[in-house]
Structure formats: C-alpha cells, structure tokens
Amino acid sequence: MAAPLPIKHWIRLKTIGEGSYGAVSVARNLEDGGLFAVKSATCKDEEFLECLEREIDILKKLDSPFVVRYLGQDRDGEGKVNLFMEYMEGGDLCSLSMRSKGLPEMAIKTYTAAILRGLEYLHEKGIIHCDVKGRNVLLGLSGEVKLADFGAAKMVSSELPAIHAGTLRWMAPEILERREQGTASDIWSLGCTLVEMATGKVPKLPEKFSGISDSGLDFLDKCFMPEPSQRWTASQLLHHPFLASTSSNQILCSPRTVLSESSEFNFPGGLNQNSGILNPNQRIKTFSICQGLDEKQWTETSTTCNGFDENERNKILTSCSDFDEEQTIETLKSHIALEAKQRMKTLISCCGFDQEGWESKDWITVRSSMAGELRALPCP
C-alpha cells in the first residue's frame, strides 16, 4: 500500500461522532481541499498511549476496499493526538437501520456481504476487529461499505495480556465468560449486527426474529453457534445461500472527496463561491432528493403548503421517517405561502431531522470524482 501524503495544514469543520478514544470530526486539508475524518484525543496515561500505538500499528497494515483507510496522524506538544481517516459521507449503518426502523432483506444481504469481505481480509491478516457493530460500519454515497474504528482491534498472535473488548450487546459468550477472544468472536458480533439491521434496534438475544427468511435464520444459526470452533468463518459465510444473490465484490473503494468551490456547475439558485454555503432553496433541493420527495414542490417559489391536497400531503408524510402525522398536517395547513427558509424548516421538521444541522453555516459543497456529479452535504 502506498503511503498517504502527509496532511500538514488542516482545519476541523464539525464533530460527527465518538470513537474508541475520542471525538471524531470532519476536517478539510487546506492544501488540496480534501475532506477527511479526524479522531482526536488527549493522551492521559501510559496505558492509553499503548492502546493508541497498537491501533496505529494495525491501521498501517490495512489496505482493503472494505476497510476505512488510515491517512496519518499528528501530535502536539500538549499530548493531543489526531488520527486522520478516510471520510465516509453516508454515515454509519446503525443510524441508517434505526432511521429506517429496520432494513429490507436485500439491503441486509448486501451490507452483510461487504462486512464479511472486510472481516475475511482482517482475519487472513491475523487481525480481530473486536467491536463489530452497526456504529462501526460506515457508508459511502456510491454504495461503499467499510469497517471502521480499530480502537479495540488486536492481532491473533499478540503476546500482550488478554484484553476483552467490545460492546456488551454485540459480545460473544466466550468474551462474557472471560475466555479467549478470537476471530470467531467477530462472527458472533456480525450476527448481532444483522439483527440490528433487521430490527433497527439494539440486538437482544435470544430473540425470535420475524421478517427474516428461513435462509437468513440459518445464516444466523451459523453465526450464533455457542462454541467458537463450530461457528462458520467469514469465508464460509460468504458462500452461504443467504448471500447467493449479492455482489459485494463490486463495491469500490471510496473516491477522495474534494471541495468544488472553484468548479463550474449548474445548481439552481446560485452558490456563494466564496463561502461554499448553500442557500435555503439549494438545501431544500438536496434534502427533498434524499427523502425521495418531489423537489419542485419544495423549491419553486410559488409553492404553498396550503395548496397541497390530501393525497399530496400523505405522499409527503409517508416519505418522512419520523413524524407526528396530526401535527405535521396542521403545520402544512397553517402556512399559505412560505419563503424558502420557512419551507426548508417545515420540510426538515416534518422528517424528524435536526433543524440546526440543516441551517448550519457548516454546509459545504463537494464533488465526488467517481460519481462525476455535484453533491451537497451537511457536516453531520
């Protein structure tokens, strides 16, 4: 694997989550405009430093389209460490599953196959992830699915004292019993992640799984064998009939995403070239497309919420993931001719999203070199 170019000058944009050792943010490389994720933490003791160094050593060994790429690190004189990682614009699998209140089986198959490709790669290199769960599976905008957060990972051959790591509801029984944690422990966690995808909830075992095919239930049986030696391996599970119709090998590595403030593009309403901030109509267009709504209903200045008939209101409501139906209908009725910013607020609140995030000045315009099209994204 070619060593990544050092990142020397960068700025932090917005916090997007928590990793094993600290906060994760989106950042911008000031030299080339590239976006990346940065995990930052302050080293407080020797044990923490040893864990962090072990994570870095493992990350340097990895080069797979199913594993988030490590881009480097920097440290300051006060003991603060910043780890640079590939930025995945699509968020994590846990959030998608919860927002959708469970995923359709075809999507579950696709994500499961990609996770298994990542685990197969890690296990062949003698690496145990130790914390497989939806929150640690990141998604790209072009269909990429990648394992992330190696803060708990370890080598199979490690001579260090045993560290039983992971997240409780995803932990294999041998970990709870303080027995050896091996690659089979990752397979148990994968089964829990499949349940997480199917239900949109934290997995609870044992549980009767409704809405999963017989083939899927047999797949779970192979993951949940009580004895680790009897559990199927990642390679074996990739050939299970449950995944027969998937093609995870076609998922490509995420392209580098760069700011396109200097690019020419056709985006309605105009764009502030100096700041890269989207105006309300542009945000409405992006949001409505993401939610599968008719963008013209929300971007045309003549749009009136009061003018929607019952079928149109129901179409909007059924396209939203989280909403109070009675309250939303009243909201739509109460506005006759909304300005763009008001329409944006109404649309965002109807869909159960955080208004502050969608109104934030942290919006930036980026271009995906693979997709060849403009993408407008909020910093989550």
Phi, psi of 182 (to 5 degrees): -125, -165
Give the pLDDT confidence of 319-372 residue by residue, as tens digits: 443 445 455 555 544 544 555 666 666 666 555 554 554 444 433 332 222 222
pLDDT for 345 = 63
Confidence class for position 4, pLDDT limits 50, 70, 90: low
Give CA separation, 279 vs 92, 270, 356, in Å: 27, 8, 14
Whole-angstrom Cα distance, residue 252 to residue 15?
A: 26
Catalytic entry in 92, 131, 149, 186: 131
Structure tokens at 12: 């932090």
Residue ranges and CATH numbers for the domains of the chain are: 10-86 (3.30.200.20), 93-250 (1.10.510.10), 260-377 (no CATH)
94: closest CA among 194, 211, 205? 194
Structure tokens at 252: 């490509």
Active site residue 131: yes
Q: Give the mean pLDDT of 243-258.
A: 48
Report helix angle 280-290 to 340-350, nearest 10.
30
Residues in the chain: 380
Which segment, 94-98, 369-373, 375-379, is predicted with the most confidence on average? 94-98
Ligand-binding site membership of 39 (annotated):
yes
pLDDT for 376 = 36
Give the pLDDT confidence of 77-96 residue by residue, as tens digits: 667 788 899 999 899 999 99
Whole-angstrom Cα distance, residue 205 to residue 300?
A: 49
Residue pointed to by tokens 């999963």: 212
Cis preceding linkage at 228, omega within 30: no
Q: Give the mean pLDDT of 102-110.
A: 93
Chain centroid to Cα 4, Å, comes to 22
Residue pointed to by tokens 């542009």: 282
